[in-house]
Amino acid sequence: MKFKQNNLNFKLLKYFSLFTAIILIGLWLIQIVFISSFFEQMKSDEIEKAAKEITESYGTANFELNIEKLSFKNALLVMVFSDSGILVYSSDGHGRSQMSPPKDQFLYGRETGVDLVDLMERLSQNGGKQVAFTQEQNGMGKSAILFSKMGTSPNEAYLYMRSPIQPVDSTVEVLKRQLVYVTILSLALGIIVSIFISRRLSAPITKLTESAKELAKGNYDVTFENGDYYEIDELAAALNYATNELSNVNELRRDLIANISHDLRTPLTMVKAYGEMIRDISGDNPQKRNAHLKIIIDEADRLAALVNDLLDLSKIETGNLEIGKEVFNISKTADAIISRMTPLRNDEGYIINTEIAENLYVNADKLKIEQVIYNLAANAVNYTGDDKKVSIRLIDKGNAVRFEAQDTGVGIPKKELANIWDRYYKVKETHKRAVAGTGIGLSIVKGILNAHHANFGVKSKPGKGSMFWFELDKAPNPALALPKSPEA
């Protein structure tokens, strides 16, 4: 695989390293740079907590035990002075305690190394209850010191606590060394994990890309394989769907070209044949010549109709279908279309039943609706059964006008019902007669009816026939409305 700066592997590696670096810098700051102040804060908190406990137990039986326990636990030096400055109790953090030897030896803490005078001053400056501070002690480093008053007069006593804030240098040394190991280890781990993850993430994507390239070359047999995770599965499913659709469209286009060429060639052959016939044979015979010319004109009309269909379809597909609405009598329109069809069809043995309610008006594009009616009626005739029966109905539904074209043909299988409205779509094997359809009639019907926001559909039972329908909002009869308007 070529190395690109913006590929997944590199990005993951970058972000993982960044993540590790941030964590490590954080650790470094906390453990090395701020450790002294952390330690100091910790010690002062500790000592204050211990002081609180000791103060609370002052005067109870637990007092001495408490001091011992706490001084041992926290490595504290604890001393208790009477209000006259005499050391009465001390514990040095090793759990050993002692009652004071001859009291006067410890007067004012002199021999204890505690400067009571300074402490009393600090205490009174701080409100007289408790004072805590850190102090550099000669040769002993920094200590946290707490001095507080316990009890009330005449049983007052003073608590002195000291805890060395140990020189943390040795600790820092240990931590530094550990941090170096941790740094190396976590960087290595970060790299390994990021490589692993990126492989997992990118491998299926790479596979999909390969398949997509195959598809681009026109190989519709490719399948997009699922990966390890949901998003890839979704993508694969979408691509498989797209491939399927593309392959269908491709097949349909191929069929369409075959059909259209056939549709174009037949009339052209006729035009040429009759043209030659007029030139060679019927040119001098007005009767025959006219008959032949009529065929030429009819075939030219068929050609023109086919070309118009194709133009309409391309307009629908590009969304450029223009609808020019007018109120017109759809009953008359339907009647005219069916009447034009009937004589021709009757000659071929078709029986076209019509039930057309009179004087129904709609506000729609007249030419386009004519096209819809013609297409649906022609389909019914083309696909009807051996009895050659077709029913055309126009029904007054109160608010709406409903058109129905029913045949007795083989019907349409359920799974094809949704597809027949698609462009170029033709149900395979339904044509009993040689119907040279192009598969664009219904997609034009759909485009026109959608542009009118009309409801439409098909009911079909395989073996029993189909019924195509659409409904348009009824418009008021303008002939009735007009005379009223001047009065209104």
- What residue ranges bind ligand ADP (CB under 6 A)? 379-380, 383, 407, 409, 412, 420, 425-427, 430, 437-443, 466
- Minimum CB separation of residue 206 from ligand ADP in Å reads 42
Q: Are 473 and 399 in contact (CB under 8 A)?
A: yes
Smallest distance, Å, CB 438 to ligand ADP?
Answer: 5
- Smallest gap from residue 426 Cβ to ligand ADP (A): 3
Using the 8-state DSSP alphabet, how is residue 5 labeled? T
Strand pairing of 351-356 and 389-396?
parallel
Q: Least Å distance between CB 380 and ligand ADP?
A: 5
Of 104 and 429, the one with the shorter C-beta distance to ligand ADP is 429
Q: Which residues lie below 8 Å from residue 479, measured CB to CB, with a gap of 6+?
A: none
For ligand ADP, the closer of residues 236 and 467 by Cβ is 467
Amino acid at 444: I
DSSP codes, 426-475:
--TT--SS-----S-HHHHHHHHHHHTT-EEEEEEETTTEEEEEEEEEEE
In the beta sheet, which residues pair with residue 328?
362
Nearer to ligand ADP, 270 or 467 (CB): 467
3-state SS, residue 30: helix
Task: Pick the closer one to ligand ADP by CB: 328 or 421.
Answer: 421
Residue type, position 317, single letter = E
Q: What is the DSSP string of 348-384?
A: TT-EEEEEE-SS-EEEE-HHHHHHHHHHHHHHHHHH-
Q: How far is the CB of 334 from ligand ADP (least distance, A)?
A: 17
Residue 363, phi then psi, degrees to nearest 5: -105, 100
Q: Which is nearer to ligand ADP, 165 or 445 (CB)?
A: 445
What element of type H or E holds 390? strand 389-396
| Nearest approach, Cβ of residue 260 and ligand ADP (Å) | 11
Quick one: CA dihedral 405, 406, 412, 417, positive or negative? positive
Query: How far apart (Å, rounded) are the C-alpha atoms in residues 105 and 85?
Result: 11
Which contacts of 3-8 are long-range, i.e. CB under 8 A and separated by 24 or more positions? 7/202, 8/198, 8/201, 8/202, 8/205
Please identify the residue of the shown chain whose CB is closest to the bound ligand ADP: 437
**Cβ at position 277, least distance to ligand ADP in Å:** 29
What is the closest distance, in whole angstroms, from the C-beta atom of residue 382 to ligand ADP in the complex?
6
| Between 143 and 466, CB nearer to ligand ADP | 466
- Tell me whether residue 342 or residue 375 sits nearer to ligand ADP (CB atom): 375
Report DSSP state, residue 225.
P
Q: Which is nearer to ligand ADP, 142 or 302 (CB)?
A: 302
Tell me the closest approach of the beta carbon of residue 443 to ligand ADP, in angstroms: 6
**Residue 236 backbone phi and psi in degrees, to 5:** -60, -45
Q: How far is the CB of 295 from ligand ADP (least distance, A)?
A: 22
Between 78 and 376, whose beta carbon lies closer to ligand ADP?
376
How many helices and strands (H and E) does the chain possess? 11, 13
Instruction: Select 76 or 427, whichever has its Cβ closest to ligand ADP.
Output: 427
Phi (first) and psi of residue 344, to 5 degrees: -55, -50
